[in-house]
Amino acid sequence: MIKTKMTEMLGIEYPILQGGMGWLGLAELVAAVSNAGGLGVLGSVTHPDPEKLRQEIRKVKELTDKPFGVNITMLPALRELPNDGFVQVVCEEGVPVVETSAGRPEKYVEPLKNAGVKLIHKVGSVRHALNAQKIGCDAVEVVGFESGGFPLPDDVTLWNLIPRIVDAVDIPVSAAGGTTDYRQLTAALALGASSVTCGTLFMATQECIAHPNLKQRLLQATECDTVMIQRTINNQNRVFKNETALKILEMEARKASFEELIPLISGERGRKVYLEGDADYGTVPCGQGVGLIKDIPTAKEVIDRMVTGAEQLLKRLSS
Ligand SMILES: Cc1cc2nc3c(=O)[nH]c(=O)nc-3n(C[C@H](O)[C@H](O)[C@H](O)COP(=O)(O)O)c2cc1C
């Protein structure tokens, strides 16, 4: 049993959080992660309006009575996100945890606190972690360069970010990025993190709705099969190295404008990859830990392996 400041604060069994995942962070996966002792987190970004999010929250509640969260992303998006409405629904539905990313979550601190919701904010630097603590966030997730999705352009890996940030703040810190294996979980705890936050790992589980073709491509991938796109538009995004990602890099190399990139980077194309299975058609956030994924287990198997492996490793290291 690995108890940490994060497991105590969130009331979960194991220090493993599933980071919010647009399109893929749906009720079945979220409940499976929470039922297995981790923290499942629903995506909000892909719900057209707050009422649709409410329906998905209610589905999770039917499937689990364990704590779970909702991700609220403040990244620049092609459509204006109804985040105020999402937060209101979260408070009304008594969701235990909110995970915010990008932007500034200040205006949500008070309503969430009043509703008894724990707020975890994603940060990519010491400065942002200190600010999150100052404004009243309950915990931070430190996003490293190896992470799938949107790490900061400082390009610092978790190897250095975790110890720097745990030295700087008093609130619990979760390590987000590149973790797909029990050895990395153990190393993150050794560096001072109170949990890991994983996205790519849970994309490759049975409960995730991603198309089997995409999951097969993930199995074949190595740690070299991700690339960083959208650097030229100040919105860098680590994605699976497929034909669309390479095309985007080619366009960026010749300084294509944001407007030219939109058709390729749009979330709608990514959605088609997940649902229809042409794994080259759009971009898919993916971390460097993909190289260690060797099968498509259930979320419970994933969590059990991580925990058992880490416990045995900790025992071996202390003997
Ligand atoms: C397919 C996918 C979709 C994601 N969508 C979101 C999102 O909507 N909001 C967000 O804050 N993070 C999103 N992320 C980032 C994850 O929450 C998490 O921080 C990240 O995946 C951790 O890195 P890893 O993939 O290397 O484990 C996404 C990640 C993946 C793999």
Q: Which two tokens stand for residue 240?
A: 């699976």
**Do both 57 and 106 map to the same domain?**
yes
Do the domain assignments include residue 243?
yes
CA 22 / ligand 1 centre spacing (Å):
8
Q: Which residues lie below 8 Å from residue 284, measured CB to CB, with a gap of 6+?
A: 214, 239, 240, 242, 270, 273, 274
Q: Do 232 and 265 contact (CB within 8 A), yes or no?
A: no
Is 168 contained in some domain? yes
Instruction: Indicate if the pLDDT at residue 32 is higher than 90.
Output: yes
The pLDDT value recorded for residue 168 is: 98
pLDDT band for 267, please (50, 70, 90 cuts). confident
**pLDDT (tens digit per residue) in 131-155:** 999 999 999 999 999 999 999 889 9
Cβ of 151 below 6 Å from ligand 1: no
At 221 the pLDDT is: 98
My answer on whether 159 and 197 are in the same domain is yes
Q: How confident is the model at residue 288 (pLDDT cuts 50, 70, 90)?
A: very high
C-beta of residue 46 within 8 angstroms of C-beta of residue 56: no
Question: Within a domain: residue 109?
Answer: yes
For residue 287, is it within any domain?
no
Please report the atom of ligand 1 found closest to the CA of residue 286.
31
Phi, psi of 53 (to 5 degrees): -65, -40
More confident residue, 76 or 70: 70
Task: Please tell me if the CB atom of residue 89 comes closer than 6 angstroms to any atom of ligand 1.
Answer: no
- Number of the ligand 1 atom closest to the C-alpha atom of 20: 17
Distance between CA atoms of residues 226 and 286, nearest Å? 7
Domain identity same for 222 and 261:
yes
Nearest-CA residue for atom 8 of ligand 1: 22
Contact 160, 153 (CB under 8 A): no
Instruction: Give the whole-angstrom CA distance, residue 73 versus residue 67.
Output: 20
Q: Any residues with CB less than 8 A from the CB of 70 and at least 6 apart, and which? A: 20, 41, 42, 44, 53, 57, 86, 90, 95, 97, 98, 99
Are 230 and 310 within one domain? no
Nearest-atom index, ligand 1, CA of 45 = 8
Residues 202 and 68 in one domain: yes
**Residues in CB range of 198: below 8 A, 6 or more apart:** 16, 17, 18, 19, 176, 179, 180, 289
Burial class (CB in 10 A: 0-12, 13-18, 19+), 10: buried
Q: How many residues does the chain have?
A: 319
Question: Alpha-carbon distance 235 to 27, whole Å?
Answer: 28
The answer on 242 and 224 residing in a single domain is: yes
Is 302 in the same domain as 204? yes
Strands (E), the chain: 16-18, 40-42, 68-73, 97-101, 118-123, 139-143, 173-176, 195-198, 226-229, 237-240
CA-based radius of gyration for the chain: 18
Report if residue 229 sits inside a domain: yes
Percent of the chain with pLDDT over 70: 100
Closest residue by Cα to atom 10, ligand 1, is 20
Q: Are residues 103 and 216 in the same domain?
A: no
Q: How confident is the model over 159-184, as pLDDT tens digits?
A: 999 999 999 999 999 999 999 999 99
Number of other CB atoms surrounding residue 306 within 10 Å: 27
For residue 210, the model assigns a pLDDT of 97
Query: Span 237-266, mean pLDDT?
Result: 96
Domain check: are 151 and 217 in the same one?
no
Q: What is the span of the domain harbouring residue 264?
A: 212-276
Would residue 290 count as lying in a domain?
A: no
Per the CB < 8 A criterion, the answer to whether 71 and 99 are in contact is yes
Residue 101, ligand 1, Cβ within 6 A: yes
Q: How many domains does the chain have?
A: 2
- Does 173 reside within a domain? yes
Please work out whether the CB of residue 198 comes within 6 Å of at least one atom of ligand 1: yes
For position 149, which CATH number holds?
Answer: 3.20.20.70
C-beta separation of 207 from 301 below 8 A = no
The pLDDT confidence band at residue 105, using thresholds 50, 70 and 90, is: very high
Kindly give the distance from the C-alpha atom of residue 101 to the centroid of ligand 1, in angstroms, as a whole number: 10
Spatial distance between the Cα atoms of 293 and 230, rounded to a whole number of angstroms: 26
Strand partners, 240: 226
Same domain, 151 and 230: no
Which two three-digit tokens encode residue 149? 């999705």
Q: What's the mean pLDDT when you consider all of the chain?
A: 96
- Is residue 155 in a domain? yes
Ligand 1 atom at minimal distance to the Cα of residue 141: 19
Same domain (yes/no): 133, 217: no
Residues 178 and 304 in one domain: yes
pLDDT score of 125 more than 90: yes
